[in-house]
Structure 1
Amino acid sequence: MPHEREVPSRHVGQVVHADPSAVYDFASDVANLPVWASGLATSGVRVEGDHLVVDSPMGSVRVRFVARNALGVLDHDVTLPSGTVVHNPFRVLPHPDGSELLFTVRQIELTDEEFARDVETVRQDLERLARHIESLGSAADPLTG
């Protein structure tokens, strides 16, 4: 798909001291989005067909996640209020300290300043997700079982 300019991307990572399957299970449960994904869901999630509709800082957006899988893939497409669809690669990867979250942010329909804010929001969201999962206790801790 040709673009007039190159679309910059930033990869945001966060280590989580928890088993990848526990991290994936929590992050893939769309009811948990408002707990940690402030850049995407500011309130409850509504299901409409095979899409989710969420109230976000961008307005009402439609979200479609890939099917549950054993690979830790949480990719999702977000349809912005403008109608533009943004593909968001998101992975839960095994890591020597438990898991690593890896999210790719792309600069689509954003100024450089907005893009920098979006990257920072994703960083904070992944940090919030890690803290929340780690606070769930030893059941999710790979070091204590």
Structure 2
Amino acid sequence: MVANSKTLGVSIECPPEKVYEFISDPENLPKWATAFCKSVTKSDGEWIVETPDGPMKIRFVERNKFGALDHYVSPMPGQEILNPMRVIPNGSGSEVIFTLFQLPGMSDDKYLEDAGLVERDLRTLKNVLEGDFNNS
């Protein structure tokens, strides 16, 4: 069975290399992923994100030249949820895209709510990076 999915994006007036470096550092999550991340710590080599639903492990794919920032969150032991994410060049700036899947058992209302939270976080990312870039 194929899950419902929605790809959300934002254009950012900031070079893709800078956007990639910022997003790929888990310590920056509380600065832009505010709907998802209250804080982040590293414990025993793993990143733990404090979320509104409790602590979750997060791991990004290895750094790469393709702009892939796919990451997995583990809300409970034995469960990993893939969050595909990319940074691609867009003129002198960047396009950040994030694909959200409707998880099994997730209501349509919860899925739409999550999409709204991702959109909010992407807008925050844009504001943070454009503010930093324009002030540097």
Task: Tell whether the structures are fold-level matches, with TM greater than 0.5.
Answer: yes
Q: For residue 100 of structure 2, what is the aligned residue in structure 1?
A: 105
Q: For residue 34 of structure 1, what is the aligned residue in structure 2?
A: 30
Q: For residue 11 of structure 1, what is the aligned residue in structure 2?
A: 7
Q: Work out the CA distance in 2 between the residues paired with 1:85 and 1:26.
A: 23
TM-score, length-normalised on structure 1?
A: 0.85
Identity of aligned residues (%): 35
Alignment equivalent of 1:89, drawn from 84, 87, 90: 84
2:42 matches 1:43: no
- Normalized per residue, which structure has more strand? 2
- Runs of 4+ aligned structure 1 residues displaced above 2 Å come to 44-49, 81-84, 137-140
1:88–1:104 CA contact under 8 A, matched in 2 = yes
Which amino acid counterpart does residue 27 of structure 1 have in structure 2?
I
2:26–2:40 CA contact under 8 A, matched in 1 = no
TM-score, length-normalised on structure 2?
A: 0.90
Q: Work out the CA distance in 2 between the residues paired with 1:79 and 1:45.
A: 15
SS at 1:46 equivalent: strand
SS at 1:102 equivalent: strand
Structure 1: gaps spanning 5 or more residues: 141-145
Q: Work out the CA distance in 1 between the residues paired with 2:59 and 2:66.
A: 18
1:15–1:97 CA contact under 8 A, matched in 2 = no
1:16–1:97 CA contact under 8 A, matched in 2 = no
Instruction: Report how far residue 83 of structure 1 moved.
Output: 4.3
Q: Work out the CA distance in 2 between the residues paired with 1:107 and 1:138.
A: 36
SS at 2:39 equivalent: coil
Q: Work out the CA distance in 1 between the residues paired with 2:44 and 2:5.
A: 30
Q: Bigger CA drift: 127-136 or 53-62?
A: 53-62
